[in-house]
Chain A
Amino acid sequence: MKYIIEDIEVRAREELFINIHPIQPAGRLTPEAMKAIIAYGDGYSTCDWCRKPFRLDKIQRPPIDEFHAELAKFVGMDQARVVPGARRGFQAVVSSLIEKGDSVIVSSLAHYTEFLAVEDAGGVVKEVPLNEENIVTAENTANKIEKVKKEMGKLPKLIMMDHFDYMFGNEHNIHGIANVAKEYGIPFLANCAYSIGVMPVNGKEMGADFLVGSGHKSFASPAPSGIIAIADEWVEKVFRTTQMVGDVTKRKFGIKEVEMMGCTIMGANLIAMMASFPAVRERVKHWDDEVKKSNYFIDEFLKIQGNEVLSEMPRKHTLTKVDTTRSFDKIAQTHKRRGFFFSDELKERRIVGEFAGATKAWKLNTYGLTWDQIKYLAQTFHEIAKKYRINVV
Protein backbone atom coordinates (compact mmCIF):
# COMPACT_ATOMS: atom_id res chain seq x y z
CA MET A 1 0.00 0.00 0.00
CA LYS A 2 1.69 3.17 -1.17
CA TYR A 3 -1.25 5.52 -0.88
CA ILE A 4 -3.69 6.27 1.92
CA ILE A 5 -6.11 7.61 -0.62
CA GLU A 6 -5.44 8.76 -4.14
CA ASP A 7 -2.71 11.44 -4.13
CA ILE A 8 -1.84 11.03 -0.43
CA GLU A 9 1.25 8.90 -0.23
CA VAL A 10 2.24 6.86 2.76
CA ARG A 11 5.10 8.78 4.37
CA ALA A 12 7.78 6.22 5.11
CA ARG A 13 10.90 8.34 4.83
CA GLU A 14 11.72 7.88 8.50
CA GLU A 15 11.64 4.10 8.00
CA LEU A 16 13.50 4.09 4.69
CA PHE A 17 16.01 6.94 4.93
CA ILE A 18 18.31 8.74 7.30
CA ASN A 19 16.66 12.13 7.50
CA ILE A 20 18.96 15.10 8.20
CA HIS A 21 16.34 17.77 7.60
CA PRO A 22 17.17 20.79 9.78
CA ILE A 23 13.82 21.02 11.55
CA GLN A 24 12.36 17.51 11.45
CA PRO A 25 14.52 15.16 13.54
CA ALA A 26 13.54 16.08 17.11
CA GLY A 27 9.87 16.18 16.23
CA ARG A 28 10.01 12.60 14.98
CA LEU A 29 7.43 10.68 16.98
CA THR A 30 8.13 8.11 19.62
CA PRO A 31 6.31 4.78 19.12
CA GLU A 32 4.09 5.77 22.04
CA ALA A 33 3.06 8.96 20.24
CA MET A 34 2.30 6.99 17.07
CA LYS A 35 0.07 4.68 19.09
CA ALA A 36 -1.64 7.68 20.68
CA ILE A 37 -2.46 9.03 17.22
CA ILE A 38 -4.03 5.73 16.22
CA ALA A 39 -6.18 5.64 19.35
CA TYR A 40 -6.99 9.35 19.73
CA GLY A 41 -7.16 10.55 16.13
CA ASP A 42 -10.88 11.23 16.21
CA GLY A 43 -11.71 14.94 16.47
CA TYR A 44 -12.67 15.79 20.03
CA SER A 45 -11.18 12.60 21.44
CA THR A 46 -9.94 14.24 24.63
CA CYS A 47 -13.43 15.41 25.50
CA ASP A 48 -14.89 12.01 26.49
CA TRP A 49 -14.31 12.74 30.16
CA CYS A 50 -14.42 16.52 30.13
CA ARG A 51 -16.33 17.54 33.25
CA LYS A 52 -16.74 20.79 35.13
CA PRO A 53 -15.03 23.27 34.91
CA PHE A 54 -14.87 22.32 31.22
CA ARG A 55 -11.35 23.27 30.27
CA LEU A 56 -8.71 21.18 28.54
CA ASP A 57 -6.02 21.53 31.20
CA LYS A 58 -8.48 20.41 33.89
CA ILE A 59 -9.39 17.06 32.30
CA GLN A 60 -8.45 14.11 34.51
CA ARG A 61 -9.04 11.19 32.13
CA PRO A 62 -6.68 10.80 30.39
CA PRO A 63 -4.64 12.78 32.96
CA ILE A 64 -4.25 16.02 31.01
CA ASP A 65 -4.34 18.07 34.22
CA GLU A 66 -1.44 16.11 35.65
CA PHE A 67 0.50 16.46 32.39
CA HIS A 68 0.21 20.24 32.54
CA ALA A 69 1.51 20.29 36.12
CA GLU A 70 4.39 17.95 35.25
CA LEU A 71 5.21 19.93 32.14
CA ALA A 72 5.58 23.14 34.18
CA LYS A 73 7.90 21.32 36.59
CA PHE A 74 9.85 19.80 33.70
CA VAL A 75 10.75 23.24 32.34
CA GLY A 76 11.20 24.83 35.77
CA MET A 77 8.24 27.23 35.61
CA ASP A 78 5.05 27.66 37.62
CA GLN A 79 2.32 27.05 35.05
CA ALA A 80 2.21 25.60 31.59
CA ARG A 81 -0.25 25.26 28.77
CA VAL A 82 -0.06 23.43 25.50
CA VAL A 83 -0.53 25.56 22.39
CA PRO A 84 -0.70 24.92 18.64
CA GLY A 85 2.99 25.60 18.05
CA ALA A 86 5.56 27.93 19.61
CA ARG A 87 4.18 30.76 17.50
CA ARG A 88 0.93 30.71 19.47
CA GLY A 89 2.99 30.95 22.63
CA PHE A 90 4.71 34.10 21.37
CA GLN A 91 1.35 35.44 20.33
CA ALA A 92 -0.23 34.83 23.74
CA VAL A 93 2.52 36.73 25.58
CA VAL A 94 2.88 39.54 23.05
CA SER A 95 -0.86 40.06 22.81
CA SER A 96 -1.08 40.32 26.60
CA LEU A 97 1.80 42.76 27.04
CA ILE A 98 2.10 44.86 23.91
CA GLU A 99 0.01 47.80 22.84
CA LYS A 100 0.11 49.79 19.65
CA GLY A 101 3.47 51.54 19.23
CA ASP A 102 5.30 49.50 21.86
CA SER A 103 8.65 48.00 20.95
CA VAL A 104 9.86 44.45 21.46
CA ILE A 105 13.52 43.50 21.50
CA VAL A 106 14.29 40.41 19.42
CA SER A 107 17.39 38.72 18.06
CA SER A 108 18.71 39.40 14.57
CA LEU A 109 18.10 35.67 14.14
CA ALA A 110 14.54 35.78 15.49
CA HIS A 111 12.01 33.43 13.91
CA TYR A 112 9.56 35.15 11.59
CA THR A 113 6.64 34.21 13.83
CA GLU A 114 8.10 36.47 16.54
CA PHE A 115 7.81 39.31 14.02
CA LEU A 116 4.23 38.32 13.19
CA ALA A 117 3.22 38.14 16.84
CA VAL A 118 4.51 41.69 17.42
CA GLU A 119 2.93 43.00 14.23
CA ASP A 120 -0.40 41.44 15.16
CA ALA A 121 -0.35 43.33 18.46
CA GLY A 122 0.53 46.64 16.78
CA GLY A 123 4.08 46.74 18.13
CA VAL A 124 7.43 47.08 16.41
CA VAL A 125 10.42 44.74 16.58
CA LYS A 126 13.85 46.06 17.38
CA GLU A 127 16.62 43.65 16.54
CA VAL A 128 19.79 43.10 18.52
CA PRO A 129 22.79 42.83 16.18
CA LEU A 130 24.91 39.69 16.29
CA ASN A 131 28.56 39.64 17.26
CA GLU A 132 31.27 38.29 14.93
CA GLU A 133 30.42 34.69 15.91
CA ASN A 134 26.72 35.15 15.11
CA ILE A 135 25.82 35.19 18.79
CA VAL A 136 23.49 37.57 20.60
CA THR A 137 25.27 38.88 23.67
CA ALA A 138 24.02 40.58 26.81
CA GLU A 139 26.11 43.62 25.98
CA ASN A 140 24.57 44.06 22.53
CA THR A 141 21.12 43.60 24.06
CA ALA A 142 21.76 46.33 26.66
CA ASN A 143 23.09 48.64 23.94
CA LYS A 144 19.99 48.05 21.86
CA ILE A 145 17.72 48.81 24.80
CA GLU A 146 19.52 52.12 25.33
CA LYS A 147 19.23 52.94 21.65
CA VAL A 148 15.51 52.18 21.58
CA LYS A 149 14.96 54.21 24.75
CA LYS A 150 16.67 57.18 23.13
CA GLU A 151 14.83 56.82 19.82
CA MET A 152 11.36 56.11 21.14
CA GLY A 153 11.47 57.89 24.48
CA LYS A 154 10.42 54.74 26.34
CA LEU A 155 11.76 51.32 27.15
CA PRO A 156 10.84 48.24 25.15
CA LYS A 157 7.93 46.33 26.67
CA LEU A 158 9.32 42.86 26.13
CA ILE A 159 12.52 41.02 25.26
CA MET A 160 12.10 37.83 23.20
CA MET A 161 15.29 35.92 22.69
CA ASP A 162 16.13 32.54 21.19
CA HIS A 163 18.00 30.05 23.34
CA PHE A 164 19.27 28.36 20.17
CA ASP A 165 18.45 29.96 16.83
CA TYR A 166 16.99 28.30 13.74
CA MET A 167 19.61 29.61 11.35
CA PHE A 168 22.91 28.43 12.84
CA GLY A 169 21.80 26.39 15.85
CA ASN A 170 24.02 28.68 17.91
CA GLU A 171 23.56 29.13 21.64
CA HIS A 172 22.89 32.70 22.68
CA ASN A 173 23.72 34.25 26.01
CA ILE A 174 20.28 33.69 27.41
CA HIS A 175 21.31 33.98 31.08
CA GLY A 176 23.16 37.23 30.48
CA ILE A 177 20.25 38.63 28.47
CA ALA A 178 17.84 37.62 31.24
CA ASN A 179 19.99 39.60 33.68
CA VAL A 180 19.88 42.63 31.41
CA ALA A 181 16.10 42.29 31.22
CA LYS A 182 15.90 42.23 35.03
CA GLU A 183 18.13 45.29 35.33
CA TYR A 184 15.82 47.27 33.06
CA GLY A 185 12.65 45.74 34.52
CA ILE A 186 11.59 44.39 31.12
CA PRO A 187 9.77 41.03 30.98
CA PHE A 188 11.78 38.32 29.28
CA LEU A 189 10.57 35.54 27.01
CA ALA A 190 13.01 32.74 26.16
CA ASN A 191 12.26 31.06 22.85
CA CYS A 192 13.28 27.48 23.52
CA ALA A 193 11.83 25.94 20.36
CA TYR A 194 15.19 24.27 19.72
CA SER A 195 15.93 23.29 23.31
CA ILE A 196 12.85 22.24 25.34
CA GLY A 197 12.44 18.53 24.72
CA VAL A 198 15.98 17.79 23.59
CA MET A 199 18.11 19.20 26.42
CA PRO A 200 17.55 20.12 30.05
CA VAL A 201 15.91 23.55 30.30
CA ASN A 202 14.97 25.33 33.50
CA GLY A 203 13.19 28.62 32.99
CA LYS A 204 13.64 29.93 36.51
CA GLU A 205 17.37 29.18 36.48
CA MET A 206 17.49 30.87 33.11
CA GLY A 207 15.80 33.95 34.58
CA ALA A 208 12.88 33.83 32.17
CA ASP A 209 9.39 35.16 32.82
CA PHE A 210 8.04 33.16 29.90
CA LEU A 211 9.28 30.06 28.14
CA VAL A 212 8.06 28.89 24.78
CA GLY A 213 8.76 25.48 23.28
CA SER A 214 7.76 23.57 20.19
CA GLY A 215 6.18 20.13 20.25
CA HIS A 216 6.70 19.33 16.58
CA LYS A 217 10.21 20.73 16.54
CA SER A 218 11.72 19.31 19.71
CA PHE A 219 9.21 17.27 21.72
CA ALA A 220 8.61 14.21 19.53
CA SER A 221 5.10 15.44 18.81
CA PRO A 222 2.88 16.06 15.80
CA ALA A 223 2.29 19.51 14.35
CA PRO A 224 0.95 21.79 15.50
CA SER A 225 1.93 21.50 19.14
CA GLY A 226 3.85 23.69 21.51
CA ILE A 227 4.32 24.79 25.08
CA ILE A 228 4.02 28.06 26.91
CA ALA A 229 5.22 28.11 30.51
CA ILE A 230 5.19 31.16 32.73
CA ALA A 231 6.14 32.43 36.16
CA ASP A 232 3.35 32.87 38.72
CA GLU A 233 3.48 36.67 38.64
CA TRP A 234 2.36 36.67 35.00
CA VAL A 235 -0.41 34.09 35.26
CA GLU A 236 -3.21 36.59 35.79
CA LYS A 237 -2.13 38.63 32.82
CA VAL A 238 -1.29 35.98 30.23
CA PHE A 239 -3.69 33.25 31.34
CA ARG A 240 -6.47 35.71 32.19
CA THR A 241 -9.98 34.34 31.93
CA THR A 242 -12.79 35.89 29.95
CA GLN A 243 -14.87 38.64 31.47
CA MET A 244 -17.21 38.94 28.50
CA VAL A 245 -20.97 38.79 29.02
CA GLY A 246 -23.46 38.38 26.19
CA ASP A 247 -25.72 41.41 26.00
CA VAL A 248 -28.82 39.42 25.03
CA THR A 249 -28.24 36.05 26.66
CA LYS A 250 -26.07 37.22 29.57
CA ARG A 251 -23.92 34.20 28.89
CA LYS A 252 -20.47 34.03 30.51
CA PHE A 253 -17.68 31.56 29.94
CA GLY A 254 -15.63 32.47 33.00
CA ILE A 255 -13.14 29.61 33.11
CA LYS A 256 -11.95 30.00 29.52
CA GLU A 257 -8.60 31.67 29.01
CA VAL A 258 -8.70 34.45 26.43
CA GLU A 259 -5.20 33.98 24.99
CA MET A 260 -5.69 30.23 24.72
CA MET A 261 -9.02 30.76 22.92
CA GLY A 262 -10.51 28.41 25.47
CA CYS A 263 -9.17 24.94 24.81
CA THR A 264 -6.07 24.55 22.65
CA ILE A 265 -4.92 21.27 21.12
CA MET A 266 -7.81 19.08 22.16
CA GLY A 267 -7.10 15.82 20.37
CA ALA A 268 -4.47 13.42 19.12
CA ASN A 269 -1.70 16.04 19.16
CA LEU A 270 -2.01 16.58 22.88
CA ILE A 271 -2.26 12.88 23.71
CA ALA A 272 0.76 12.23 21.49
CA MET A 273 2.72 14.88 23.42
CA MET A 274 1.68 13.20 26.65
CA ALA A 275 2.61 9.79 25.29
CA SER A 276 6.06 11.05 24.26
CA PHE A 277 6.64 12.83 27.55
CA PRO A 278 8.28 9.95 29.48
CA ALA A 279 10.68 9.34 26.58
CA VAL A 280 11.35 13.06 26.24
CA ARG A 281 12.07 13.36 29.96
CA GLU A 282 14.57 10.56 29.57
CA ARG A 283 16.18 11.74 26.34
CA VAL A 284 17.07 15.21 27.61
CA LYS A 285 19.44 13.47 30.04
CA HIS A 286 21.39 12.22 27.02
CA TRP A 287 21.82 15.55 25.28
CA ASP A 288 25.60 15.39 25.77
CA ASP A 289 25.72 12.27 23.64
CA GLU A 290 23.68 13.98 20.91
CA VAL A 291 26.19 16.84 20.91
CA LYS A 292 29.07 14.35 20.77
CA LYS A 293 27.51 12.71 17.72
CA SER A 294 26.95 16.10 16.13
CA ASN A 295 30.61 17.03 16.66
CA TYR A 296 31.79 13.61 15.43
CA PHE A 297 29.89 14.08 12.19
CA ILE A 298 31.05 17.68 11.75
CA ASP A 299 34.70 16.68 12.35
CA GLU A 300 34.35 14.04 9.62
CA PHE A 301 32.51 16.49 7.36
CA LEU A 302 35.41 18.95 7.71
CA LYS A 303 37.86 16.33 6.48
CA ILE A 304 36.40 16.91 3.03
CA GLN A 305 38.56 19.58 1.45
CA GLY A 306 36.69 22.84 0.96
CA ASN A 307 33.89 22.05 3.40
CA GLU A 308 33.18 24.71 6.02
CA VAL A 309 30.94 25.11 9.03
CA LEU A 310 29.14 28.43 9.47
CA SER A 311 27.77 27.67 12.94
CA GLU A 312 29.76 28.16 16.14
CA MET A 313 32.39 25.51 16.86
CA PRO A 314 32.61 23.14 18.57
CA ARG A 315 28.96 22.41 18.09
CA LYS A 316 26.64 22.78 21.06
CA HIS A 317 23.61 21.65 19.07
CA THR A 318 22.69 19.03 16.48
CA LEU A 319 21.46 21.68 14.02
CA THR A 320 24.36 23.04 11.98
CA LYS A 321 24.76 25.37 9.03
CA VAL A 322 27.44 24.24 6.62
CA ASP A 323 29.00 25.64 3.48
CA THR A 324 30.04 23.38 0.62
CA THR A 325 30.67 26.14 -1.94
CA ARG A 326 34.33 25.13 -2.24
CA SER A 327 33.64 21.41 -2.46
CA PHE A 328 30.34 19.97 -3.72
CA ASP A 329 29.25 23.22 -5.36
CA LYS A 330 32.32 23.12 -7.59
CA ILE A 331 31.08 19.79 -8.92
CA ALA A 332 27.57 21.23 -9.33
CA GLN A 333 28.91 23.95 -11.64
CA THR A 334 29.62 21.45 -14.42
CA HIS A 335 27.33 18.54 -13.54
CA LYS A 336 24.34 18.02 -15.84
CA ARG A 337 22.09 17.78 -12.77
CA ARG A 338 23.67 20.94 -11.30
CA GLY A 339 23.18 21.04 -7.52
CA PHE A 340 20.76 18.13 -7.63
CA PHE A 341 23.67 15.76 -8.27
CA PHE A 342 24.39 15.95 -4.55
CA SER A 343 20.81 15.13 -3.55
CA ASP A 344 20.82 12.25 -6.04
CA GLU A 345 24.01 10.83 -4.55
CA LEU A 346 22.67 11.13 -1.01
CA LYS A 347 19.30 9.63 -1.89
CA GLU A 348 20.92 6.72 -3.67
CA ARG A 349 22.62 5.99 -0.33
CA ARG A 350 19.34 6.46 1.57
CA ILE A 351 20.00 9.89 3.00
CA VAL A 352 17.42 12.68 2.63
CA GLY A 353 16.55 15.99 4.23
CA GLU A 354 19.18 18.30 2.75
CA PHE A 355 17.74 21.22 0.81
CA ALA A 356 17.45 19.61 -2.61
CA GLY A 357 19.74 21.25 -5.13
CA ALA A 358 21.59 23.37 -2.56
CA THR A 359 25.36 22.98 -2.65
CA LYS A 360 26.43 26.29 -1.15
CA ALA A 361 25.17 27.12 2.35
CA TRP A 362 22.65 24.69 3.81
CA LYS A 363 21.59 23.19 7.12
CA LEU A 364 21.44 19.71 8.57
CA ASN A 365 20.41 18.13 11.84
CA THR A 366 21.76 14.87 13.26
CA TYR A 367 19.42 14.64 16.26
CA GLY A 368 18.29 11.16 17.25
CA LEU A 369 20.58 9.21 14.94
CA THR A 370 22.31 6.21 16.47
CA TRP A 371 26.11 6.03 16.47
CA ASP A 372 25.90 3.50 13.62
CA GLN A 373 23.76 5.90 11.61
CA ILE A 374 26.07 8.84 12.36
CA LYS A 375 29.09 6.85 11.18
CA TYR A 376 27.22 5.73 8.07
CA LEU A 377 26.33 9.38 7.37
CA ALA A 378 29.94 10.51 7.72
CA GLN A 379 31.23 7.66 5.54
CA THR A 380 28.65 8.48 2.88
CA PHE A 381 29.79 12.09 2.66
CA HIS A 382 33.39 10.89 2.29
CA GLU A 383 32.33 8.38 -0.34
CA ILE A 384 30.54 11.01 -2.43
CA ALA A 385 33.52 13.39 -2.13
CA LYS A 386 35.94 10.70 -3.25
CA LYS A 387 33.72 9.73 -6.17
CA TYR A 388 34.07 13.29 -7.48
CA ARG A 389 37.79 13.45 -6.70
CA ILE A 390 37.46 15.86 -3.81
CA ASN A 391 40.22 15.26 -1.29
CA VAL A 392 39.32 13.75 2.04
CA VAL A 393 42.14 14.30 4.50
Chain B
Amino acid sequence: MIEKAVEETFAALFALIDLRQIFRETKPTYQFNSEQKRQTKEIIERVRQSMDIIEKELMK
Protein backbone atom coordinates (compact mmCIF):
# COMPACT_ATOMS: atom_id res chain seq x y z
CA MET B 1 0.00 0.00 0.00
CA ILE B 2 1.49 3.31 -1.08
CA GLU B 3 -0.45 5.05 1.72
CA LYS B 4 1.54 3.12 4.29
CA ALA B 5 4.86 4.05 2.68
CA VAL B 6 3.89 7.71 2.53
CA GLU B 7 2.69 7.63 6.13
CA GLU B 8 5.98 6.12 7.26
CA THR B 9 7.93 8.70 5.26
CA PHE B 10 6.29 11.45 7.31
CA ALA B 11 6.73 9.45 10.52
CA ALA B 12 10.47 9.19 9.86
CA LEU B 13 10.79 12.87 8.95
CA PHE B 14 8.90 13.88 12.08
CA ALA B 15 11.04 11.63 14.26
CA LEU B 16 14.15 13.28 12.83
CA ILE B 17 12.68 16.69 13.65
CA ASP B 18 12.46 15.49 17.25
CA LEU B 19 16.15 14.62 17.05
CA ARG B 20 16.83 18.07 15.66
CA GLN B 21 15.11 19.49 18.75
CA ILE B 22 17.37 17.44 21.02
CA PHE B 23 20.40 18.95 19.25
CA ARG B 24 18.92 22.39 19.87
CA GLU B 25 18.34 21.72 23.55
CA THR B 26 21.78 20.27 24.21
CA LYS B 27 24.02 22.49 22.07
CA PRO B 28 26.87 23.25 22.23
CA THR B 29 28.11 20.49 24.53
CA TYR B 30 25.62 17.78 23.52
CA GLN B 31 25.77 16.14 26.91
CA PHE B 32 22.56 14.12 26.85
CA ASN B 33 20.81 13.33 30.10
CA SER B 34 19.21 9.92 30.57
CA GLU B 35 15.85 11.09 29.20
CA GLN B 36 17.46 12.57 26.10
CA LYS B 37 19.42 9.36 25.57
CA ARG B 38 16.20 7.38 25.83
CA GLN B 39 14.42 9.71 23.41
CA THR B 40 17.30 9.53 20.92
CA LYS B 41 17.28 5.75 21.01
CA GLU B 42 13.54 5.74 20.47
CA ILE B 43 13.85 8.14 17.53
CA ILE B 44 16.53 6.04 15.85
CA GLU B 45 14.44 2.91 16.29
CA ARG B 46 11.38 4.71 14.95
CA VAL B 47 13.24 5.86 11.83
CA ARG B 48 14.68 2.37 11.24
CA GLN B 49 11.24 0.85 11.62
CA SER B 50 9.78 3.35 9.13
CA MET B 51 12.59 2.64 6.65
CA ASP B 52 11.94 -1.11 6.96
CA ILE B 53 8.24 -0.65 6.29
CA ILE B 54 8.90 1.65 3.34
CA GLU B 55 11.35 -0.86 1.88
CA LYS B 56 8.92 -3.69 2.38
CA GLU B 57 6.04 -1.75 0.85
CA LEU B 58 7.90 -0.42 -2.16
CA MET B 59 10.36 -3.15 -3.02
CA LYS B 60 8.08 -6.17 -2.86
B-chain residues with CB within 8 Å of residue A376 when the two chains form the complex:
28-29
Q: Are A350 and B27 touching (Cβ within 8 A)?
A: yes
A-chain residues with CB within 8 Å of residue B28 when the two chains form the complex:
16-18, 349-351, 373, 376
Per-residue contact bits, chain A 365-390, to B (CB 8 Å; 1 contact, 0 not): 00000101100100000000000000
Per-residue contact bits, chain A 1-34, to B (CB 8 Å; 1 contact, 0 not): 0000000000000111110000000001001001
User: Using a Cβ–Cβ cut-off of 8 Å, how many residues does chain A contribute to the interface with B?
Assistant: 18
Q: Are A38 and B29 touching (Cβ within 8 A)?
A: no
Q: Are B25 and A38 touching (Cβ within 8 A)?
A: no
A-chain residues with CB within 8 Å of residue B23 when the two chains form the complex:
15-16
B-chain residues with CB within 8 Å of residue A16 when the two chains form the complex:
23, 27-28
Q: Are A34 and B10 touching (Cβ within 8 A)?
A: no
Q: Is B18 an interface residue (CB 8 A)?
A: yes
B-chain residues with CB within 8 Å of residue A35 when the two chains form the complex:
13-14, 17
Q: Is B49 an interface residue (CB 8 A)?
A: no
Q: Are A373 and B10 touching (Cβ within 8 A)?
A: no
The chain A residue sitting closest to B13, CB to CB, is A38
Q: Is A235 an interface residue (CB 8 A)?
A: no
B-chain residues with CB within 8 Å of residue A373 when the two chains form the complex:
27-28
Q: Contact size class for B?
A: 10 to 19
Report Cα–Cα, A30/B25, bound state, in Å: 11
Q: Are B21 and A31 touching (Cβ within 8 A)?
A: yes
Q: Are A17 and B27 touching (Cβ within 8 A)?
A: yes
The chain B residue sitting closest to A38, CB to CB, is B13
Q: Is A39 an interface residue (CB 8 A)?
A: yes
Q: Are B10 and A38 touching (Cβ within 8 A)?
A: yes
Our pick among A34, A350, A370 for the contact of B25 (Cβ within 8 Å) is A370
Q: Are A38 and B20 touching (Cβ within 8 A)?
A: no
Report Cα–Cα, A16/B20, bound state, in Å: 10
Given contacts A34-B17, A35-B14, A350-B27, 4 further A-B contacts (CB under 8 A): A16-B27, A16-B28, A39-B10, A350-B28
Give me the interface of B with A, judged by CB distance under 8 Å. Answer: 10, 13-14, 17-18, 20-21, 23-25, 27-29
Give me the interface of A with B, judged by CB distance under 8 Å. Answer: 14-18, 28, 31, 34-35, 38-39, 349-351, 370, 372-373, 376
